[in-house]
Every structure is written in C-alpha cells, then in structure tokens.
Amino acid sequence: MKVETLSPERQESMPMDGPGSIDKREATGPLAVPKWVATALPHLGFLGLVGLVTFLRWKVLQATDYPPGLDGGNWLAYGHALLGEHVRSSSLVYPPVVPIQAVVSEWLFGSFTGLRLLALVASVAPAIGLYVLLADGGLSWRAAVLAGFLASSCATGQAVDCGGQPQSLGLGILPGFILTLERVLLSRRPVTALPRSSLLLFATS
C-alpha cells in the first residue's frame, strides 16, 4: 500500500477537527464580536434604559405646575444660607451637598426646572450606583438588568415625589463609597489613595 505524504503547505490548508481548529473558526466566524464591543454593550443598554426612564419621568413632572416634593424650598433656603444669604435661622443645620446642588440648579435652570432636574438625577442615582457595584464584580448584562429593574421601579420615583432626593442620592453614592473604600484600604501608595479619599469625604457630607 502506497502512503501519500502531504507537504507542509497542504497540511496547513486542510481543515482540522481538533478543539483548536473549532476555536479558530469561532473566533473568525460571522458571529465574532470584538472584545471592546462586548464590554460596551451592557453599558449602552443600561444607559438607554436609564435615559428612557428619565424621559418618561420628565414628562410626568412637566404635567404639573408644582415642584417635586415639599422640601425643595427648604434645600434652597439652606443652600442660600451656606452661601451667605440667611433666609432661615442660622441655628438650623443640614448636610451641604443637596442644598448646594439645589442652589446651583436654580442658578442654571430656574427654581422649578432646577428642582425637577435634581429630582430626576436623584431618582436614577440608586440604579446607577447599583450598576457600578455589580459591573465592577463582572456581572455584565446581569448588572444591567438588575439595575434596570431598580431604575424603573416605583420605589425610586415615589421617594423623589415625597421629597426623598437626599436619601436617593445617598443610596446612589453608597456603592461607589464601598468600592472606593476598598481601593483605599488595599492601596499601598498613599499618593494614589488621595483622589479616592476625596470622594469618601464628599460622600460622607
């Protein structure tokens, strides 16, 4: 029996049935997706869902002539007091983040529109914080789905309607606070920990 010996060129051109050849065909097939695209798709999907929820809530807020919640005026008063305009008693104190945000929103967009925009940001803040925490753990699409449920839930929207902007913003900052605290504690160089520790200072205020 005559056995034909294949040249190296013919051996490379012939298909192989081994696992390595299957992986190669899959990597170069029509369904192959670049790694950066696969990484970006969950982020884009979550941002699209948050954008849709924000748009729908904005339409609801525009349907009324009243600001969201009953505490917006208090935050504006506290914010102006922090900036030197004492319209409330100086003995009253409040954490400065939300009052300053309310005053800045008022300067940029007016009183009602500024408070509405602050309410919109606060309503999706818990979902954004949850997504950052889960995505950092490598959950990818599962993080987008779970955080999307939280973004569209009535709990986050109703809390803002009742004046829960500080609480909602705090829930949104909390996951980032946890991640930042972990990195600060695990950092071996104090210089690299300084920017992250500044975020902790902002979160606790």
Q: Give the pLDDT confidence of 52-75 residue by residue, as tens digits.
A: 988 988 888 888 777 776 777 788
The Cα–Cα gap between 147 and 134 comes to 9
Q: What DSSP character marks residue 110?
A: -
Distances (CA, A) of 115 to 64, 103, 163: 13, 9, 10
Q: How confident is the model at residue 25 (pLDDT cuts 50, 70, 90)?
A: very low
Q: Which two tokens stand for residue 63?
A: 């349907």
Question: Average pLDDT of 140-157?
Answer: 84
- Tell me what the mean pLDDT of segment 80-99 comes to: 75
